[in-house]
Amino acid sequence: MLKVIRFLELMWLVIAIVSAVIATYHLVTGILDHALFFYFFSAVAVALFFLRKRQRTKLEDN
């Protein structure tokens, strides 16, 4: 079970990094609406990363 949670944790981190890179690309090319959407998605992915990390640490303590 901990391996699945660790995988999901890393998946959200990768999604956050990729979406931040895409957002920066859209910001440089001048498409501000798309960049804001991807920055928002990146922030949500980071929040879910920390949520999964907290869940994993609680399960490891038990």
Per-residue pLDDT tens digits for 3-56: 898 999 999 999 999 999 999 999 999 889 999 999 999 999 999 999 999 999
Any domain includes 34: yes
Pure H helices in 1-62: 2-29, 32-61
Any domain includes 35: yes
Any domain includes 5: no
**Residue range(s) defining the domain that contains residue 33:** 13-61
CB atoms near residue 54 (< 10 Å): 11
Of 22, 14, 7, which Cα lies nearest the Cα of 46?
14
Any domain includes 6: no
Any domain includes 18: yes
Residue 2's pLDDT band, with cuts at 50, 70 and 90, is: confident
Number of domains in the chain: 1
